[in-house]
Amino acid sequence: AQSVTQLDSHVSVSEGTPVLLRCNYSSSYSPSLFWYVQHPNKGLQLLLKYTSAATLVKGINGFEAEFKKSETSFHLTKPSAHMSDAAEYFCVVSVSNAGNMLTFGGGTRLMVKP
């Protein structure tokens, strides 16, 4: 079975400063990993995905994540936060032997201060 742990339920940054949202995963097989973003009362939008190609993955809106197998981590970063980045972020794992079902982390709420 696979699992995902998002290490921070809330992260607060100032506009213009770097963002780091931490995610650790557990999987017996090679995983696919995703970050989704959810704005209040909206559906989820895919930010980026890792599917065993390059370990540094670039996504939309300046976000990127690095797959580190030795650390079982897939942290999300952005060099400079914008007010519009304030939202809930979900780290998600999927493995082919589990029917490609998605397992979600508990989410990290990012707050951006002016």
Partner 1 sequence: DGGITQSPKYLFRKEGQNVTLSCEQNLNHDAMYWYRQDPGQGLRLIYYSQIVNDFQKGDIAEGYSVSREKKESFPLTVTSAQKNPTAFYLCASSSPWTGYNEQFFGPGTRLTVL
DSSP letters, 35-77, are EEEE-TT--EEEEEEESSS-SEEE-GGG-EEEEETTTTEEEEE
Based on CB atoms, which residue is closest to partner 1, 73 or 108? 108
Residues that bind partner 1 (CB under 8 A): 4, 9, 32, 34, 36, 41-46, 49, 51, 90, 94, 96, 99-102, 104-107
Q: How far is the CB of 70 from partner 1 (least distance, A)?
A: 23
Q: How far is the CB of 26 from partner 1 (least distance, A)?
A: 15
Q: How far apart are CA 98 and CA 114, in angstroms?
A: 43
Based on CB atoms, which residue is closest to partner 1, 55 or 96? 96
Q: How far is the CB of 6 from partner 1 (least distance, A)?
A: 8
C-beta separation of 106 from 92 below 8 A: no
Q: How far is the CB of 105 from partner 1 (least distance, A)?
A: 6
Q: Which amino acid is at 50?
A: Y
Residue 24 is classified by DSSP as: E
Based on CB atoms, which residue is closest to partner 1, 18 or 54? 54
What are the backbone angles phi and psi of residue 85, rounded to the nearest 5°?
Answer: -80, -10
Based on CB atoms, which residue is closest to partner 1, 3 or 80? 3
